Amino acid sequence: MVGNLGQQPAGGTQAGKIAILPASTRETAMRLTIVPLLISLLALPAFAQVDSQPMSEGERQGKLDHARSLRDESERLQNAADARLKAQNEACHKKFLVSSCLEDAQKAHIEESRAAKRKDFEAGQLERDVKRRDVAVRDAKRAAEAPKREADQKAQG
């Protein structure tokens, strides 16, 4: 099918299908897409490693408090954005160019909502990090106690 751009292949095995790109261009495009994907997949295990060192209670509580304050700030920003949108919508209906005004108000609301969601996302990351580290510490502790537990089970059974 190489070089049959827009032509039906001989033999009729793929009747009705039209080649959009020449084979060499498709192969190049596929390579350009697959290579970065494979590289990013190779990097995943490095990101998946969790610090199994226990956090001090103060550090843990500090992270959770910071996450809570980010969530509160996010909620406050979102509520303010919603109230501002409602007020702007009411004001827009009194203007001549209602549609344009409503679109501008909606765009401003979207930007404000995104800022609030970024804070909420950051809070979620902090909470997930604390939970991951708690689980990693618990798993490490369980793995360290496994030989003793196994020996106790053999002694009993």
Please, where are the H alpha helices in 1-157?
Answer: 23-48, 57-92, 98-156
Q: What is the CA radius of gyration of the chain?
A: 29
Rounded Cα gap, residues 97 and 103, in angstroms: 10
Residues 6+ apart with CB under 8 A from 64: 126, 127, 130
pLDDT on residue 111: 97
pLDDT on residue 14: 55
Cβ atoms within 10 Å, residue 78: 18
Buried b (16+ CB within 10 A) or exposed e, 121-147: ebbeebbeebeebeebbeeeeeeeeee
pLDDT on residue 92: 94
The per-residue pLDDT string of the chain (157 residues; one tens digit each, 9 = 90 and over) reads 455 555 555 555 555 556 565 666 667 666 667 766 667 666 655 555 555 567 888 999 999 999 999 999 999 999 999 999 999 999 999 999 999 999 999 999 999 999 999 999 999 999 999 999 999 999 999 999 999 889 888 888 6
Break the chain into its structural domains and give their ranges.
57-135
Cβ atoms within 10 Å, residue 70: 20
Rounded Cα gap, residues 42 and 54, in angstroms: 28
Residues 6+ apart with CB under 8 A from 112: 77, 78, 80, 81, 84
φ and ψ at 121, to 5 degrees?
-65, -45
pLDDT on residue 139: 93
pLDDT on residue 56: 86
